């Protein structure tokens, strides 16, 4: 029995020495010291020994057990450390590596210009309102003094969705919605997308952007219109910019004007941007037609107002010297990254 014991413990020691993983060491512990282990089995045979031999043998087995337990715990510690070491090595971060470039999103040039315009008008006391892109004939034409057979309908080629439903051709529809829901004094701008069945080319797109402005109050005159729009043009293009009001026609304003500013590229001398003329048209405007006020339940004898519609795309392309309006809609990252 003594011999078996020493062979067993020698075998166990060797196994402990050679093992390389924590799982293996656990296997060894079970094999020799577990409930059904080989050393435990010796203790169970003690019954066959004489009463004098029993305590001696018992002591030997216990000593061997203790020794093995200690070896196992030491080896286990070693293996654990080695494993941690290995893991740390694998996870080392090389702080000398170049960092990944972070590319934050930025505003589309149209939004940058729009934000500037909103700031300018808000500083003059205007509210920003919103209107639907899908409009009814009623809001887009009828209430704006453009009845069904009016020739002015040909000025704007319309995308119809159904008999009475269309993609708004102008943000002017928001004038009506505002006058229906607010009482004068009214001072609002409504920026948004508008749609016309235009062929696509460098200066035309079937989708573009307008900012409609509307002021209604007692005693509003053409002077207020000129003052506000001149101020706006100076804020956007600089105070040296000259502003010209040309007579024009819109069915919903009377009188109507178109507003030109001196070309910011050449200062009015004439260049490629202004096609040699020295002036760039930036908006249409006029005194709100009495019929329009009336259709919204506002008495034109008591109140008057002016409205204007600014083309955001034109403003953006001239500000950034963008030669083709299509660039604003194509979402080419190489283009957008320049802003």
Give the residue, chosen from 220, 274, 307, 315, that forms a contact with ligand PHE under the rule CB under 6 A: 307
In the complex, least distance from residue 185 CB atom to ligand PHE, rounded to whole angstroms: 18
Cα distance between residue 263 and residue 271, in whole Å:
8
Q: Which is nearer to ligand PHE, 32 or 306 (CB)?
A: 306
Stretch of 27-35, 62-70, 122-130, 306-314 contacting ligand PHE, by CB under 6 A: 306-314
Query: Per rule CB under 6 A, is residue 9 in the interface with ligand PHE?
Result: no
How many residues sit in the footprint of ligand PHE (CB under 6 A)? 11
- Taking CB atoms, the residue at the shortest distance from ligand PHE is 309
SS3 of residue 207 by DSSP: strand
The distance of closest approach from Cβ of residue 252 to ligand PHE in the complex, given in angstroms and rounded to an integer, is 6
Query: What is the nearest approach in angstroms of ligand PHE to the Cβ of residue 328?
Result: 18
Residue 308 near ligand PHE by CB under 6 A: yes
Residues whose CB falls within 8 Å of the CB of residue 67, separated by 6 or more in sequence, listed in order? 9
Which residues in the chain belong to E strands, given as ranges?
127-128, 134-136, 160-162, 165-167, 186-195, 207-217, 243-250, 253-262, 279-288, 304-311
Q: Min. distance of Cβ 194 from ligand PHE in angstroms?
A: 7
Helices (H), 91-203: 109-123, 137-140, 173-181
Helix (H, G, I), strand (E, B) or coil at 181: helix
User: Does position 172 bind ligand PHE by CB under 6 A?
Assistant: yes
The residues with which 306 forms a beta bridge, in sequence order, are 215, 287
Output the smallest distance, CB 250 to ligand PHE, in A: 4
Q: By CB under 6 A, what part of segment 244-303 binds ligand PHE?
A: 250, 253, 284-286
DSSP 200: P
Site string for ligand PHE, 186-225 (x = CB under 6 A): --------------------------x-------------
Phi, psi of 255 (to 5 degrees): -70, 165
Relative to beta strand 243-250, strand 127-128 is unpaired
Q: Rounded to an integer, what distance in angstroms lies between the CA atom of residue 28 and that of residue 25?
A: 5
| Cβ 303 to ligand PHE shortest distance, Å | 17
Which residues sit at the interface with ligand PHE, rule CB under 6 A?
170, 172, 212, 250, 253, 284-286, 307-309
């Amino acid at each position: 029995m003594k011999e078996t014991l020493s062979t067993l413990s020698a075998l166990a020691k060797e196994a402990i020495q050679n093992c390389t993983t924590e799982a293996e060491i656990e296997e060894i512990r079970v094999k020799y010291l577990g409930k059904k282990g080989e050393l435990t089995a010796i203790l169970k045979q003690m019954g066959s020994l004489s009463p004098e031999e029993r305590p001696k043998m018992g002591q030997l087995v216990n000593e061997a057990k203790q020794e093995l337990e200690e070896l196992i715990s030491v080896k286990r510690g070693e293996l654990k450390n080695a494993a941690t070491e290995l893991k740390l090595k694998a996870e080392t971060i090389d702080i000398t590596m170049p960092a990944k470039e972070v590319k934050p999103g930025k505003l589309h040039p149209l939004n940058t210009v729009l934000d500037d315009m909103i700031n300018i008008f808000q500083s003059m006391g205007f509210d920003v309102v919103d209107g639907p892109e899908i409009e009814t004939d009623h809001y887009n034409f009828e209430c704006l003094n453009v009845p069904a057979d009016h020739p002015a309908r040909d000025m704007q080629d319309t995308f119809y969705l159904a008999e009475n439903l269309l993609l708004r051709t102008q943000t002017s529809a928001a004038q009506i919605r505002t006058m229906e829901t607010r009482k004068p004094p009214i001072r609002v701008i409504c920026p948004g997308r508008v749609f016309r069945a235009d062929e696509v080319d460098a200066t035309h797109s079937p989708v573009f952007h307008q900012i409609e402005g509307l002021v209604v109050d007692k005693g509003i005159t053409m002077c207020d219109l000129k003052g506000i729009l001149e101020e706006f043009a100076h804020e956007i293009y600089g105070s040296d910019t000259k502003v010209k009001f040309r007579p024009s026609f819109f069915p919903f304003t009377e009188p109507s004007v178109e507003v030109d500013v001196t070309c910011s590229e050449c200062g009015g001398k004439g260049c490629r941007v202004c096609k040699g003329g020295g002036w760039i048209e930036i908006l249409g405007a006029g005194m709100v037609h009495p019929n329009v006020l009336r259709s919204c339940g506002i008495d034109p004898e008591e109140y008057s107002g002016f409205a204007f519609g600014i083309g955001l795309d034109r403003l953006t392309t001239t500000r950034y010297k963008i030669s083709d309006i299509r660039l604003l809609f194509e979402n080419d990252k190489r283009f957008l990254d320049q802003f």
